[in-house]
Amino acid sequence: MAVTYLETGSLNPYYNLAFEELVLERRRDGEYLLLWQNDNTIVVGQNQNTEAEINREFVERHGVNVVRRSTGGGAVYHDLGNLNYSFITDVGDAERLTMERFTRPIVEALRNLGLQAEASGRNDILVAGRKVSGTAQRIVRGRILHHGTLLFDANPGMVAGALQADPAKFQSKSAKSVRSRIGNIRDFLPVDLEMEAFWEYLKKALAGGGMAVGCLTAEELAAVEELKHRKYDTWEWNYGRSPQYDFTNKRRFDGGGLEVRAAVKEGCIVNIVFYGDFLSVSPLDGLTAALEGCAFRREAVAEVLDRFDIRELFGGITRDEVLDTLFYVS
């Protein structure tokens, strides 16, 4: 089956994420490849506390857009030196949920350009030991979205200035050290390419044996605009998940960082939020709703957690690690 290739035709991050979500929700058959760019944007993970991830003064001074995506993982900076990709297809069996299913073609495409590329850690792609890509994914009714960003010729000063370095993730490292972790693909190419040529190469490499160039219908494009206005343009979506709570704790595990904030009244949870860069593939709304009214005791919370697929919600963070974050304050 040929892969359907789509472009958003926009550099607006709020529009682009709405476009991507529309394809995931509405196009229920076939395989899709999207290549797209955001201009001057911080994209925070679905479960992150936005204010804790951005350098507010820098963002306002440089007119940086801030948007929340619908997948897990950490915050990233996008500019026109980045190229973003999205795969949308059927979930298939459980073994096909692995990141490697989707990172492999990216790694192979980079290697075919003469680069020392490899998948690393939970969701990174490295070239010559430097991070050039981070990825995340989400499942909706039997369909999976896997997307990532490729640092081709990004501005490292903007990356370092716009994002706050999480001290739990970068212990005793300065902003300069954080910058040193990343690299631009263009710097490692044996033969130089412009972004336009890299885009065209990647489109053909990722489409594989066959590609059909597609487009959204007028009705679908109108739905993209509506979704952008209703969700991605709003303060509530991008910033509004950061209320004050009575109880807070934050820990870091092999599967990522986890922060919990809970309001507890008369021994019961009345509101709870989980933040972190863990690689969830499903939203946490169902879990947080189920925990409201639950007794704030380890045994009671464990019973609620056992109703859910913890791997889908928290990626590599385990049930017991969630409980430890709630009940063993570090």
Q: Where are the alpha helices (DSSP H) in 82-216?
A: 100-111, 156-162, 175-181, 185-188, 195-207
Which pLDDT value is given to residue 170?
39
42 pLDDT above the threshold of 70: yes
45 pLDDT above the threshold of 80: yes
Instruction: Report domain extents, the chain.
Output: 3-238, 247-327
176 band by pLDDT with thresholds 50, 70 and 90: very low
Structure tokens at 138: 């989400």
Q: What is the mean pLDDT of residues 200-206?
A: 93
Residue, of 4 and 209, whose pLDDT is higher: 4
Mean pLDDT of the chain: 88
Give the contacts of 84 (CB within 8 A, at least 6 positions apart). 16, 34, 35, 36, 37, 38, 78, 147, 148, 149, 150
Which pLDDT value is given to residue 234?
93
| Residue 18 CB burial class (10 angstroms; 0-12, 13-18, ≥19) | buried
Which pLDDT value is given to residue 159?
83
Chain centroid, CA 132 distance in Å? 15
Q: Which residue in 278, 252, 240, 111 sits closest to 185, CA to CA?
A: 111
- Domain 247-327, second-level architecture: 2-Layer Sandwich (3.30)
208 pLDDT above the threshold of 80: no
Supply the DSSP symbol for 70: S
How is the chain split among helix, strand and coil, in percent rounded to 5?
A: 35, 25, 35
110 pLDDT above the threshold of 80: yes
Find out whether 62 and 37 touch, Cβ atoms under 8 Å: no
What tens digit of pLDDT does each residue of 68-97 get?
A: 999 988 899 999 999 999 999 998 754 455
User: Class of 3-238 per CATH?
Assistant: alpha beta
Q: How many residues does the chain have?
A: 330
Lowest pLDDT segment from 52-66, 141-155, 166-180, 282-296: 166-180
Q: What is the mean pLDDT of residues 9-27?
A: 97
Which pLDDT value is given to residue 329?
54
Strands 268-276 and 256-265, sheet pairing: antiparallel
229 band by pLDDT with thresholds 50, 70 and 90: very high
| 235 membership: H or E segment, kind and range | helix 235-238
178 pLDDT above the threshold of 50: no
pTM higher than 0.85: no
The C-alpha angle with vertex 203 and arms to 197 and 204, in degrees rounded to 5, equals 95
Which pLDDT value is given to residue 96?
53
Give the contacts of 165 (CB within 8 A, at least 6 positions apart). 173, 175, 178
Which pLDDT value is given to residue 240?
75
Which pLDDT value is given to residue 161?
86
Three-class secondary structure of residue 261 per DSSP: strand
Which pLDDT value is given to residue 153?
95
219 band by pLDDT with thresholds 50, 70 and 90: very high
